[in-house]
Structure 1
Amino acid sequence: MPSIQRRAFVGTVGSVAAAGLAGCLVGFGGTPTTIDVYVTNEDDTTHTVDVVVEFGEETLLDEQFVVDPDEQQEAAFSNPEETGDATVTASVQNGESTDRELPAGRGSGLSTVTVEVGEDGSVETWAAVR
């Protein structure tokens, strides 16, 4: 029986390692062509969140999310070929909003954008850059 357990262990470790590296492979050559956006709600009430991502004169994302408590929703936008600053505007129906300038473009290292509604209904935006 030990050889079967060993095979299962090695197979599981190999699968986990391959899955973990899958998202990193794009990082070796630069920034991904698609940027994931995560909208989370840490408050105890449902919120409607508008998210707009602009790059110069171009709107890369303009979506409205209805996010239940402790829920996360996802969207994505195409990362521009040229490098520059993108403006992420996130606003909640209660009037809270935030604007954040983030590096964007294929050479920027941008990989994800997160918009979070806090426990008090406030909204924050941040990004992961490789």
Structure 2
Amino acid sequence: MSYRKTIVERIVRVKILGIKINLTHNAKNLVFLLKEIVSKKNSFTHEDFANWCMVYADNFREVDFSNPVEQSAYEVADDIDAQWELYLVNTYTLEQLQGDRSKITVPDDWFKEWLVKLNYRGTLL
């Protein structure tokens, strides 16, 4: 499958699901969303967050960043997207994934690790 076809399929998937997090894709908002999840204040699902990160990563995949903070945030968003997909494939059956995915959560420690990664790289604002 070509990279372009994969992107088109992912964009269609997000359009079908709808964008549930209406925030600009940038480092500040990525940190904000991660902090919301870590503090259990999020009003969105892990899938909503993963989809937001997918769009973030897809939108900036070909960008040559001059700002290291935004570069780090892009890398973390891309990692979140990849880890979400891997977690789904390795943890759930096809039948489970065809049901209600709003209850699916990844381990809480992952979000803390992504925040630490951003903090280590000087991204926390």
Q: Return the TM-score normalized by structure 2.
A: 0.28
Bigger strand share: 1
Structure of larger gyration radius: 1
Q: Return the TM-score normalized by structure 1.
A: 0.27
Bigger helix share: 2
